[in-house]
C-alpha cells in the first residue's frame, strides 16, 4: 500500500472515530460452581433515545465519545464482576471468603485497566485538539 492510500485510510478512520459515540454498554459474568451457576448482566444506556410521545420525533442520541467507552466499559464490568461474586456467595455457589478474595483481586485488576483506559482516552482527546 502506498503512502497516499495509507494516509487517506488513516485520515478517514480518525474522522469517523471522532464522530462515533457509544450509546450503550453491556457486560455479563457467570460464576460456575458445583451447586449451580450465578449469572449477572447489566446494560447501561448512555444518553439513549427517548420516544416518550410516538407522535413526536425522538430526542437525538448524544452518547459517549468512543475514546471514553473503554473507561465506561471497565467501570461497568467491574461492578458486574463484583455483583456476580456477591450473588454467588449469597446463594452458596462459592464461600463468602472466596467472594471477598476474588472481589479484592477484581478491584485491583480493574483499577489497572481503568488507569490504562483513561490514559488512552486522554491521548485520543489530545490528538483531536
> 4 lies in a domain?
no
pLDDT of residue 51: 56
> 27 lies in a domain?
yes
- Counting the structural domains of the chain, the total is 1
> 82 lies in a domain?
yes
> 16 lies in a domain?
no
- At 37, give phi and psi (nearest 5°): -120, 150
All three cell numbers of 7, joined, read 494516509
> 3 lies in a domain?
no
Q: Using the structure block, give the residue that is written with the C-alpha cell 464482576.
A: 81
Structural domain boundaries enclosing 86: 22-128
pLDDT of residue 21: 82
> 31 lies in a domain?
yes
CA angle 113, 118, 120 (to 5 degrees): 95
- Tell how far CA 35 is from the center of its chain: 30
> 77 lies in a domain?
yes
pLDDT of residue 129: 54
pLDDT along the chain (129 residues), means of 10: 90 83 90 88 77 60 84 94 95 95 96 94 78
All three cell numbers of 121, joined, read 482516552
Amino acid at each position: 500500500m502506498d503512502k497516499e492510500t495509507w494516509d487517506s485510510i488513516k485520515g478517514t478512520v480518525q474522522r469517523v472515530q471522532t464522530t462515533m459515540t457509544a450509546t450503550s454498554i453491556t457486560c455479563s459474568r457467570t460464576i460456575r460452581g458445583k451447586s449451580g451457576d450465578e449469572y449477572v448482566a447489566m446494560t447501561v444506556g448512555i444518553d439513549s433515545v427517548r420516544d416518550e410521545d410516538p407522535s413526536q420525533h425522538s430526542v437525538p442520541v448524544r452518547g459517549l465519545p468512543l475514546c471514553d467507552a473503554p473507561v465506561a466499559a471497565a467501570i461497568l464490568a467491574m461492578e458486574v464482576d463484583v455483583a456476580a461474586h456477591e450473588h454467588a456467595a449469597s446463594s452458596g455457589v462459592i464461600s463468602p471468603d472466596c467472594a471477598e478474595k476474588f472481589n479484592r483481586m477484581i478491584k485491583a485488576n480493574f483499577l489497572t485497566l481503568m488507569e490504562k483506559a483513561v490514559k488512552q482516552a486522554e491521548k485520543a482527546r489530545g490528538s483531536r485538539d
